[in-house]
Amino acid sequence: MQDMSNNAVIVRKLMQSSEGYPKVGENIDFVRRPYDASQLQLSDNFPVLAKVLYISVDPFLKLRLIENLDADEEVTKPFEEGKPLSCYAVVTVIDSLSEKWKKGDRLFSFANWEEYTLLSTQTLESSCLITDKDDSMLKDYLGVLGMAGHTAYIGLKHVGHPKANETVLVSSACGAVGMMAGQLAKSFGCYVVGSAGSDEKVEFLKNELHFDDAFNYKKENYSDALKRTCPKGIDVYFDNVGGELLDTVFLHANLYARIIYCGALSQYCAKEPYGLKNTMQMITKCIRFEGFSYYYYYSLYWDECCSTIKKLLSEQKLHFKLDMKVGLEQTPEAFTSMLQGKNFGKVIVQVAQD
Amino acid sequence: MQDMSNNAVIVRKLMQSSEGYPKVGENIDFVRRPYDASQLQLSDNFPVLAKVLYISVDPFLKLRLIENLDADEEVTKPFEEGKPLSCYAVVTVIDSLSEKWKKGDRLFSFANWEEYTLLSTQTLESSCLITDKDDSMLKDYLGVLGMAGHTAYIGLKHVGHPKANETVLVSSACGAVGMMAGQLAKSFGCYVVGSAGSDEKVEFLKNELHFDDAFNYKKENYSDALKRTCPKGIDVYFDNVGGELLDTVFLHANLYARIIYCGALSQYCAKEPYGLKNTMQMITKCIRFEGFSYYYYYSLYWDECCSTIKKLLSEQKLHFKLDMKVGLEQTPEAFTSMLQGKNFGKVIVQVAQD
């Protein structure tokens, strides 16, 4: 074991406000560390030692890099300076005191951004077993079969309740969750419109993912774009960006519209939060606007999500785009680039092969 | 008929912005008119002629006095200048071509603010028959048994889904809807907290309506007040005011909190709409924030509401405060006073005795 490493991506210094992007080296950093068995001892509270294979790099982590955030849940509280970041991951169990999880099991689990990590009993409560034998599918559990796919499925189906022929708008529609939400909405028979930040992405949505329409939010007034692309108004809005687009959607929403508030990418690096001014439309139109955090739902719907998405995959009804980096040292840069919208597809990092 | 009047309360001039209160004589006015049978002819589209007995005077009407409001539903579009305002009312059918509604029927219905009025087929679709024989109860159909009681019941039960021991916050808790929402929440076994605009109202909530706690929002910082009165956080917020208090509630809401967005009294006369800045809390806490307009729900739940509320009344579990004016000519002043919070209880006007 003496030559092994346990490199990590750690928080150097939390940010003082939400404004701007975390800086590599200043706020987050890749650090080389030797494998230290004394730090990785199993115990009642940490009964599983795992090797991290793939990690998911997600926008919401930005919120946990800000100091004094008024949040105390495990999934939302600020990261600790000097410690690794953590997120959804695919791991292999290499040692275990647990009756439930055995050596060799592959898990979808929350895990630290380090090569080897201990999993707590609390974390393990919501970890899910990956039963596929095909190793090439493991990475998909951070993509089409993972948080992105499941978030889209659970949010759309169990929060948004779309009906056939309704108009479903998806923001950040080329993002990991957005592209899944749009395609799932198509599979439910809806009229699907996406917003994205480049003409290339708009074409991808229309031509590759078969969205009914799409627009480049950087080039067109939001209200004009929504009138043009959603002529019958909006019944369901799967929102990944928040801010001004969300505020404009209230004006174009139909009676009984549902807004799935899944992310607020436009706000994560904003100087000040955007104030939503059009929410009174919610009263007159009986709009349901519902926040949705994957963290609290995924273990409940794991089997339903996996089987539904696998079926659609087998019918060739889903396309998905992974933006995979290889090597943990790529993670800090991949994270900050993603926050600036430079990725095209779901960002994951391969930390190790099995 | 020649000596009969058909006086009305009409819109003189729509307001140019939401700022400020409508002026009596300038924006709305009481006008004396003779009864003109030629204007009150039954037809296929207007098959019922009714005498108006009581009218409901509600804050949301302010929104319909503003020019160019982006709304086209019957219940939300701007009133027409020169024409009467309209709202929920109790009326007696005095002539009818309809098979369903007979002369002498008492209806809870949308109606113009005039002594005699025609009811359209569209209006009649959601009118409800009042079956009580006791005339002294008619006014209650604009109060405890009417929009206020039903709005509170439907909003709380079917939108808010409160569970016993949860903390329910009610704003404008001495208003017509608020006092009902709070008492209904008590009847569901919740811990109930109210906000109101005077110490007298706060005492009334605690001593007469048996709220568990209450605060005067004019005297205390919102965040301090919510921490003090809702020490376990907020599970359900029945919101009648919108604006800054709503924005503060997001910070103090619990996981899976439900916000019933029933009214936005703080916004109806504001210069600019308040921008809600804390809605990202909805994502991390899976908060459901749902707009609710009585107009779209009441005929669906009419029987359930009436029977539930009558049962609670018979058990002496509900107190209600009507602020009744007598005479249609009182209406303009009653309306503008209410918008300024000068009323204490549900404002209605008795237009005629049967």
**Which residues does chain A have within 8 Å of residue B70's beta carbon, measured at their own beta carbons?**
251
B66 and B179 inside one domain: no
Preferred mutation among A226, A289, A296 to probe B, highest tally of B CBs within 10 A? A289
Chain segment A224-261, per-residue pLDDT in tens: 999 999 999 999 999 999 999 999 999 999 999 999 99
**Same domain assignment for residues B177 and B289:** yes
CA angle, A303 as apex, A298 and A307 as ends, to 5°?
Answer: 120
Amino acid at B256: Y
pLDDT tier at B343 (50, 70, 90 boundaries)? confident
Residues whose CB is less than 8 angstroms from the CB of residue A331 and which lie 6 or more positions away in sequence, other chains included: A9, A30, A55, A57, A113, A325, A349
**Binding-face residues of B in 120-149 toward A, CB within 8 A:** none
Handedness of CA B267, B270, B273, B275 (dihedral sign): negative
> Which pLDDT score is estimated for B294?
87
Q: Quick check: B24 contacting A, CB < 8 Å?
A: no
Are B289 and A284 in contact (CB < 8 Å)?
Answer: no
Neighbours of A293 (CB within 10 A): 23
B261 in the same domain as B166: yes
Q: How far is the C-alpha of A331 from the C-alpha of A153, rounded, in Å?
A: 27
The two structure tokens encoding residue B332: 């303009």
pLDDT band at A74 (very low <50, low <70, confident <90, very high): low
Contacts by A32-35 with C-beta closer than 8 Å and gap 24+? A32/A5, A32/A7, A33/A5, A33/A6, A33/A7, A33/A8, A33/A114, A34/A2, A34/A4, A34/A5, A34/A6, A35/A1, A35/A2, A35/A4, A35/A5, A35/A6, A35/A115, A35/A116
Handedness of CA B200, B201, B203, B209 (dihedral sign): positive
Q: How far apart are CA B223 and CA B250, in angstroms?
A: 10
Q: Are residues B102 and B217 in the same domain?
A: no
Contact (CB<8Å) B296/A255? yes
Mean pLDDT across chain B: 93
Q: Are both B91 and B166 inside the same structural domain?
A: no
A160 plus A233 within the same structural domain: yes
Domain count, chain B: 2
Query: Could you identify the residue written with the tokens 């189906």?
Result: A157
Task: Answer whether A86's CB lies under 8 Å from A111's CB.
Answer: yes
Which residues in chain B have Cβ-Cβ distances shorter than 8 Å to A296? 255-256, 286
Alpha-carbon gap, residue B56 to B79, rounded angstroms: 16
CA distance A238 to A256: 15
Do A116 and A82 fall into the same domain? yes
Q: What is the identity of the amino acid at A107? A: L
**SS3 at position B235:** strand
DSSP one-letter code for B294? G
Q: Which two tokens stand for residue B305?
A: 């509401």
- Of the candidates A264, A279, A290, the beta carbon closest to that of B280 is on A264
Q: Which of these, B253, B246, B179, B249, lies nearest to B210 by C-alpha position?
A: B179
Tokens, residue A275: 């104030």
DSSP class of B24: B
The verdict on residue B133 lying in a domain is: yes
Specify whether A283 is located in the same domain as A326: no
In Å, how far are A218, A239, A249 from A169, measured between CA atoms?
Answer: 17, 8, 9
Q: Which residues of A touch B250 (CB under 8 A)?
A: none
The reply to whether A250 and A339 lie within a common domain is: no
Token pair belonging to B248 = 């503060």
pLDDT tens-place string over residues B48-101: 999 999 999 998 899 899 986 566 666 678 999 999 999 999 999 999 999 999
Q: Is the pLDDT of residue B194 over 80?
A: yes
For residue B323, the number of C-alpha atoms closer than 13 Å in the C-beta half-sphere is 19
Question: Which residues of B are less than 8 Å from A280 in CB distance?
Answer: 63, 242, 264, 267, 273
Chain B positions in Cβ-Cβ contact with residue A248 (cut-off 8 Å) = none
* pLDDT band, residue A60 (cuts 50/70/90): confident
Residue at A25 is within a domain: yes
| Cβ-nearest to A283 among B261, B274, B275 | B261
The count of C-alpha atoms lying within 13 angstroms of the C-alpha of B17, restricted to the half-sphere facing its C-beta, is 6
With CA atoms as reference, report the closest residue to B47 among B149, B143, B122.
Answer: B122
CA A337/CA A188 separation, integer angstroms: 33
B27: CATH: 3.90.180.10
Residues of B in contact with A287 (CB under 8 A): 290-291
**B152 vs chain A: nearest CA distance in angstroms?**
14
Tens of pLDDT along A288-344? Answer: 999 998 888 888 898 999 999 999 999 988 999 899 999 999 999 999 999 998 888
In CATH, what number is assigned to the domain containing residue A220? Answer: 3.40.50.720
- Start-to-end CA span in chain A (Å): 17
Using pLDDT thresholds of 50, 70 and 90, give the confidence band for residue A105. very high
A256: alpha, beta or left? (left if phi > 0; alpha if psi -120 to 50): left
Question: ipTM score here?
Answer: 0.88
Q: For A105-241, list the strands marked E by DSSP.
A: 106-112, 116-119, 128-130, 167-170, 191-196, 213-216, 234-239
Q: Are residues A108 and A191 in the same domain?
A: no
> Which residues constitute the domain of residue B167?
147-295
Q: Where does residue B23 fall: left (phi above 0), alpha (psi -120 to 50 degrees), or beta otherwise? A: beta
Q: What residues are paired with A322 via a beta bridge?
A: A346
CA closest to A240 among chain B residues: B283
Chain A's closest residue to B246, CA to CA, is: A279
Spatial separation of the C-alpha atoms in residues B50 and A71, rounded to whole Å: 57
Residues 6 or more apart in contact with residue B208 via CB below 8 angstroms: B319
- B315 part of a folded domain: no
Binary contact (B290, A291; C-beta < 8 A): no
Does residue B309 form part of some domain?
Answer: no
* Radius of gyration, alpha carbons of chain A: 20
Residue of chain B minimizing CA distance to A289: B289
pLDDT range class, residue B283, cuts 50, 70, 90: very high
> Residue B81 region, left (φ>0) first, then alpha (ψ -120 to 50), else beta?
beta
Name A46's Cβ contacts closer than 8 Å, sequence gap at least 6. Answer: A118, A119, A120, A121
Counting residues of chain A whose pLDDT is more than 70, the rounded percentage is: 97
CA dist A3 to A35, A40, A112, Å? 8, 16, 21
pLDDT(A24) > 80? yes
Question: Which residues have CB under 8 Å from B300's CB, separation 6+?
Answer: none
For residue B96, give the 3-state DSSP assignment.
Answer: strand
Query: The tokens of B266 are what?
Result: 């703080």
Q: What is the pLDDT of residue A223?
A: 96
- In Å, how far is B207's CA from the nearest CA of chain A? 31
Do A75 and A55 lie in a common domain? yes
Q: Which of B256, B261, B279 to mutate to test the interface with A (most CBs of A within 10 A)?
A: B279
Min Cα–Cα distance to chain A from B35, Å: 34
Query: CB neighbours of B338 closer than 8 A, spacing ≥ 6?
Result: B57, B59, B347
pLDDT of residue A71 exceeding 70, the answer is: no
Q: What percent of chain B has pLDDT over 90?
A: 81
Q: Is the pLDDT of residue B2 over 90?
A: no
DSSP, res A12: S
Distance from CA of B60 to the nearest CA of A (A): 10
The answer, yes or no, to whether residue A61 has pLDDT greater than 80, is yes
Nearest to B296 among A60, A63, A286 (CB): A286
| Tokens 């606007």 found at | A289
Close Cβ partners of A97 (under 8 Å, ≥ 6 residues apart)? A42, A43, A44, A47, A48
pLDDT attached to residue A69: 56
A344 vs A7: CA distance, rounded Å: 27
**Residue A310: inside a domain, yes or no?**
no
A119-168 pLDDT, tens digit per residue, is 999 999 989 999 988 888 899 999 899 888 999 999 999 999 999 999 99
Pairing status of strand B253-261 against strand B288-291: parallel
Higher pLDDT, A138 or A345: A138
Asked if B261's CB is within 8 angstroms of A279's CB, the reply is: yes
Q: What are phi and psi of B320, to 5 degrees?
A: -145, 150
Residue A50 included in any domain = yes
Same domain flag for A246 and A157: yes
B284/A255 CB distance under 8 A: no
**Residue range B179-203: mean pLDDT, rounded:** 96
> Are B27 and B13 a contacting pair, CB within 8 Å?
yes
> Within a domain: residue A315?
no
Residue A275 has a pLDDT of 97
* pLDDT for position B70: 62
Q: Which alpha helices (DSSP H) does chain B contain, by range? A: 121-125, 147-153, 176-187, 199-207, 222-229, 243-252, 281-284, 298-314, 331-339
Measured between beta carbons, the chain A residues lying within 8 angstroms of B58 are: none
Selected residue of B249, B271, B281, B282 to mutate for chain A interface (largest A Cβ count, 10 A) = B282
Upper half-sphere CA count for residue B325 (Cβ side, 13 Å): 19
The SS3 assignment for A325 reads strand
What pLDDT is recorded for position B345? 84
Q: Give the residue among A333, A320, A326 at the shortest CA–CA distance from A349.
A: A326
B247-254 mean pLDDT: 97
Asked whether residue A87 is assigned to any structural domain, the reply reads yes
Q: Of B208, B212, B236, whose CA–CA distance to B318 is shortest?
A: B208
Place A75 in a pLDDT band, splitting at 50, 70 and 90: low
Look at A286 and B285 and tell me if their CB atoms are within 8 Å.
Answer: no
The answer to whether the Cβ–Cβ distance between B285 and A276 falls below 8 Å is no
Helices (H), chain A: 121-125, 147-153, 176-187, 199-203, 222-229, 243-252, 281-284, 298-314, 331-339
B300 touches A: beta carbon within 8 Å: no
